[in-house]
């Protein structure tokens, strides 16, 4: 663009430019402002929901601490149903599963844990749910299903727990040899300093391959 | 600037650029350019979030102080291993950061209101049960925290807590697990055993010299002496300095003058009086009579009669009348108020008008004044001298200690120079090891210093070690005895005993094996035991915590595979004491106890299962999160 001779010419040029582009510019600006507005509203809506869920969850934890089963079930299920997309749903589902197990409602407990496995984003929560689901299946006498559930566990952070439960499942199936191998493996991969007394008892009870003086 | 823009912003693109520049300010404001970005070094990164050295230092200092307090003042510095504490602290910070990030990823949030409630409810920040903003600000300040920083920390803790409590708190125990655990923990086993102790086979022949020498060579480690050092040291204490101080009389005088106020004896006055009694509850007539009597006596004195004679004859104060009314010297606060005021308003020789007190009417004569006066210097000199010595000693101590520190640092390979310069005696300690010593080496700080690399390896003078109030030592190694062995002659008896013990243990073991084999082959245990003059003990059904069976035997019995239907399982156990045991496991059964008292033991087992699986889940989550986080620890900034 070349320079203008006078201010009038300059004003004239701006007016002309405005006539040609004004509408598009205003439209663009409105669109941009609207976009930012909607985005920011959505962001606030989402974090607002997460924060409400967080407050509910805090209450759920304190009810859990007080062993108030009825309240735990009610608030836990409310959290899972109302805020399924927040991280609190998975934690609440784990808590509801506990309450169900303690009431002997194994099928309902399984459903909660299965929900976590299917819906949680965090691999840790999925794996914790798998361990617990396997234990419930074992308690119901379905060792085969328990083994299948355990095989879904990824990574080795949960290996010690998984191997021990696997050993329990083999024991339930009467396969002492496989159980011994699994228990021994659980012992081998246990974190130093973790409580392995029960595991050792299980192993000893089926005749540990270790010498007695070990 | 606007002028510049107007001059040059002549096209659509120029305007566009201006608008683009404006947008970030509109949304983030100018302060994001000034926040943060300070030059604080980084000790760790968790997924690119930095943990700064300042954050780390704060937690580290607190943790170190906590451990120090736990161990006590004179703890061995080796127990406060800085590297170890640092590792623990950075570990904790990294764990907390990575779990909090995972919690955020999982969609956990702590709203401002929730955060505020958490802080307001913290009793630390409450006064009389209510949140106190000023106290809050003060406490944060004392911890070196800004409100923003502290709130971020609390928020992080809350996020971690939400995730961890959700995982561990939702742990359960199934009925099957409870039964299984009860069956294991409360299991009972029917066992019988015999033990062979090496003592049964004593009276072994004395080993030959060759055997002894061979044993000594093979087991030299057993006879080692720890590394030992002796040190020479200069010791400086304010207490020692006190004796050598020449007392400067002028200084004592000056101190005396400065402190004179503390040594004064207040003014005292001596008076005589004549009392005409009239109690406080005397009626007007009696009062008037006493007053008239006093005035009359006063008149007689004024007209020339002797005060003393009149006092002797007329005063109704039996204590002083015989003395001519003399009361001796007294200070303020010893006489009743009106009397005192009169006395202190008079000059020597004055005689007062009758003064009414609760005793009656007094005619007072002031006879002498002992002016306010200091306790004489001679009287307080010992106190002053002690004080003087302490002061000077402390002064000299700091002065000499500094010189000592400088001299021994500048000339690190001898104490001589410092000793001569400062007129200190070089003392020598007996040998001591890293872990024990006598004299100054009984102080763990001294031992730690003697065995520090700079002193032990480099052979330098140590830094001054403070071993008491105004009491330091500087030391250097005089003699170093590396790990050595006790000579064979010193340990000969020990070796003979060991060899004999080994031989006995070997016999016990061989015999035990023999018994075990014959038993396994089906021979009757009781008669076998009798044959060897041993006792076959039938313990019956025992639990894991039975106290009647030796621990090693019991543990072995509970580690044996349960027996088949018809035959007991038999195993041999080498005992730590050198003996041998043959153990028979005859039967295993579930607990009679567990079924008996259900409630209580049920709760016990439930807790056991919850703790075990809960810890496994919690640790698993932590480990798993750490594994998928990108964690970088910058060691050199720790």
Residue tagged 């630390």 (tokens):
B124
Does A111 share its domain with A172? no
Does A125 share its domain with A185? no
The answer to whether B607 contacts chain A (CB < 8 Å) is no
Q: Do A61 and B616 touch (CB under 8 A)?
A: no
pLDDT confidence band for B202 (50 / 70 / 90)? low
First vs last C-alpha separation in chain A: 91
Q: Which of A97, A212, A213, A214 to mutate to test the interface with B (most CBs of B within 10 A)?
A: A212
Distance, CA of B100 to CA of B102 (rounded, Å): 5
Nearest residue on chain A to B176, alpha-carbon basis? A139
Q: How close does chain A come to B556, measured CA to CA in Å?
A: 6
Which residues in chain A have their CB less than 8 angstroms from residue B625's CB?
124
Does A34 share its domain with A117? yes
**What's the structural domain count of chain A?**
2
Domain boundary among A95, A116, A138: A138
Is the pTM for the entire model greater than 0.90? Answer: no
Chains A and B: how many Cβ contacts under 8 Å? 161
Q: What is the pLDDT of residues B421-461, one digit of tens each?
A: 888 899 999 999 988 888 889 888 999 999 999 999 888 99
Q: Domain holding A52: CATH number?
A: 1.25.40
Domain boundary among A138, A163, A185: A138
Give me B506's structure tokens: 């070997």
Q: Which residues are within 8 A (CB) of B69 and not within 5 positions of it... i.e. 6 or more apart?
A: none
Domain boundary among A111, A138, A165: A138
Does A43 share its domain with A130? yes
pLDDT confidence band for B26 (50 / 70 / 90)? low
Listed residue (B588, B197, B534) closest to B525, CA to CA: B534
Query: Which chain B residues in 92-121 lie under 8 Å from chain A, judged by CB atoms?
Result: 102-103, 105-111, 113-114
For helices A123-139 and B147-169, the axis angle rounded to 10 degrees is 20
**Helix (H), strand (E) at residue B574:** strand B569-574
pLDDT confidence band for B30 (50 / 70 / 90)? low
Q: Which of B181, B573, B624 sits opposite A123 (nearest CB)?
A: B624
Nearest residue on chain A to B184, alpha-carbon basis? A201
Q: Do A131 and B175 touch (CB under 8 A)?
A: no
Does A115 share its domain with A170? no
Q: What are phi and psi of B73, to 5 degrees?
A: -60, -50
ipTM of the complex as predicted: 0.82
Q: Which of B108, B174, B559 sits opposite A136 (nearest CB)?
A: B174
Q: What is the pLDDT of residues B296-349, one digit of tens each?
A: 999 988 888 888 888 988 898 888 888 889 988 888 888 888 898 889 888 888
Does A125 share its domain with A196? no
Q: What is the pLDDT of residues A121-140, one digit of tens each?
A: 889 999 999 999 999 999 99
The answer to whether B88 contacts chain A (CB < 8 Å) is no
Does A134 share its domain with A170? no
Which residues in chain A have their CB less than 8 angstroms from residue B156's CB?
none
Listed residue (B435, B407, B426, B418) closest to B478, CA to CA: B426
* CB distance A53 to B113 below 8 Å: no
Does A106 share its domain with A203? no
Which residues in chain B have their CB less than 8 angstroms from residue A155's CB?
624, 627
Does A40 share its domain with A89? yes
Does A110 share its domain with A209? no
Which residues in chain B have their CB less than 8 angstroms from residue A108's CB?
none
Does A34 share its domain with A118? yes
Q: How close does chain B come to A205, measured CA to CA in Å?
A: 6
Does A99 share its domain with A152? no
- Residue A177 belongs to what domain range? 141-214
């Amino acid at each position: 663009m070349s320079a203008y001779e006078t201010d009038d010419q300059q004003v004239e040029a701006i007016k002309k430019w405005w006539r040609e582009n004004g509408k598009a510019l205003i439209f663009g600006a409105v669109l941009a402002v609207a976009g930012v507005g909607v985005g920011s509203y959505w962001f606030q809506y989402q974090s607002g929901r997460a924060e409400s869920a967080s407050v509910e969850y805090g209450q759920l934890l304190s009810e859990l601490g007080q062993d108030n089963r009825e309240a735990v079930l009610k608030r836990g299920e409310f959290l899972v149903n109302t805020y399924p997309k927040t991280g609190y749903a998975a934690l609440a589902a784990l808590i509801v599963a506990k309450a169900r197990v303690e009431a002997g409602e194994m099928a309902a407990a399984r459903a909660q844990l299965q929900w976590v496995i299917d819906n949680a984003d965090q691999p840790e929560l999925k794996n914790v749910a798998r361990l617990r689901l396997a234990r419930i299946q074992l308690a119901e006498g379905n060792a085969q299903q328990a083994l299948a559930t355990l095989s879904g566990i990824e990574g080795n952070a949960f290996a010690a727990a998984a191997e021990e439960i696997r050993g329990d499942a083999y024991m339930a199936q009467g396969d002492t040899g496989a159980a011994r191998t699994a228990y021994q493996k659980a012992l081998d991969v246990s974190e130093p300093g973790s409580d392995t007394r029960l595991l050792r008892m299980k192993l000893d009870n089926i005749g540990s391959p270790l010498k007695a003086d070990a | 600037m606007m002028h510049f823009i107007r001059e040059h912003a002549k096209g659509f693109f120029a305007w566009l650029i201006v608008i683009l520049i404006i947008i970030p300010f509109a949304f983030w404001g100018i302060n994001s350019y000034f926040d943060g970005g300070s030059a604080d070094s980084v000790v760790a990164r968790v997924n690119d979030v930095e943990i700064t050295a300042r954050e780390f230092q704060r937690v580290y200092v607190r943790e170190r102080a906590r451990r120090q307090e736990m161990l006590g003042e004179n703890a061995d510095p080796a127990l406060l291993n800085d590297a170890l504490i640092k590792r623990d602290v950075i570990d904790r910070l990294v764990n907390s950061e990575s779990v909090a990030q995972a919690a955020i990823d999982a969609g956990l949030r702590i709203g401002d209101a929730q955060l505020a409630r958490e802080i307001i409810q913290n009793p630390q920040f409450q006064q009389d049960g209510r949140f106190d903003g000023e106290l809050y600000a003060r406490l944060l300040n004392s911890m070196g925290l800004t409100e923003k920083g502290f709130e971020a920390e609390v928020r992080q803790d809350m996020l971690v807590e939400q995730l961890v409590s959700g995982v561990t708190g939702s742990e359960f125990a199934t009925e099957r697990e409870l039964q299984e655990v009860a069956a294991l923990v409360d299991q009972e086993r029917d066992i019988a055993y015999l033990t062979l102790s090496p003592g049964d086979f004593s009276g072994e022949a004395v080993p030959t010299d060759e055997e002894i020498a061979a044993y000594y060579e093979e087991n030299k480690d057993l006879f080692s002496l720890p590394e030992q050092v002796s040190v020479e040291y200069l010791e400086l204490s304010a207490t020692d300095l006190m004796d050598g101080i020449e007392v400067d009389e002028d200084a004592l005088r000056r101190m005396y003058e400065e402190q004179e106020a503390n040594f004064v004896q207040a003014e005292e006055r001596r008076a005589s009086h004549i009392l005409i009694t009239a109690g406080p509850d005397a009626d007007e007539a009696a009062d008037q009579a006493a007053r008239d009597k006093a005035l009359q006596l006063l008149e007689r004195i004024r007209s020339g009669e002797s005060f003393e004679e009149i006092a002797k004859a007329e005063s109704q104060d039996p204590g002083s009348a015989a003395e001519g009314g003399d009361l001796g010297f007294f200070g303020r606060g010893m006489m009743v108020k009106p009397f005192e005021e009169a006395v202190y308003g008079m000059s020597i020789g004055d005689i007062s008008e009758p003064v009414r007190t609760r005793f009656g009417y007094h005619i007072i004569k002031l006879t002498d004044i002992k002016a306010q006066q200091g306790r004489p210097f001679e009287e307080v000199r010992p106190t002053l001298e002690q004080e003087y010595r302490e002061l000077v000693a402390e002064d000299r101590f700091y002065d000499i200690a500094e010189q000592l520190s400088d001299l021994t640092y500048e000339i690190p390979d001898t104490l001589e120079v410092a000793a001569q310069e400062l007129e200190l005696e070089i003392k020598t300690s007996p040998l001591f090891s890293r872990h024990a010593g006598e004299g100054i080496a009984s102080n763990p700080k001294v031992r730690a210093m003697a065995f520090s690399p700079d002193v032990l390896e480099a052979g330098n003078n140590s830094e001054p070690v403070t071993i008491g109030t105004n009491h330091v030592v500087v030391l250097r190694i005089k003699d170093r005895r590396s790990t050595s062995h006790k000579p064979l002659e010193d340990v000969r008896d020990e070796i003979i005993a060991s060899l004999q013990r080994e031989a006995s243990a070997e016999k016990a073991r061989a015999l035990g094996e023999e018994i075990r084999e014959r038993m396994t082959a089906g021979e009757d245990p009781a008669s076998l035991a009798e044959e060897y003059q041993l006792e076959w003990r039938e313990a019956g059904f025992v639990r894991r915590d039975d106290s009647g069976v030796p621990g090693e035997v019991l543990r072995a019995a509970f580690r044996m595979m349960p027996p088949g239907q018809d035959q007991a399982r038999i195993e041999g156990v080498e005992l730590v004491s050198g003996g041998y045991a043959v153990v028979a496991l005859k039967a295993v059964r579930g607990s009679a106890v567990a079924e008996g008292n259900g409630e209580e033991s049920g709760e016990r087992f439930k807790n056991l299962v919850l703790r075990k699986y809960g810890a496994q889940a919690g640790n698993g989550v932590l480990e798993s999160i750490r594994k998928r986080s990108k964690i970088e620890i910058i060691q050199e900034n720790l």
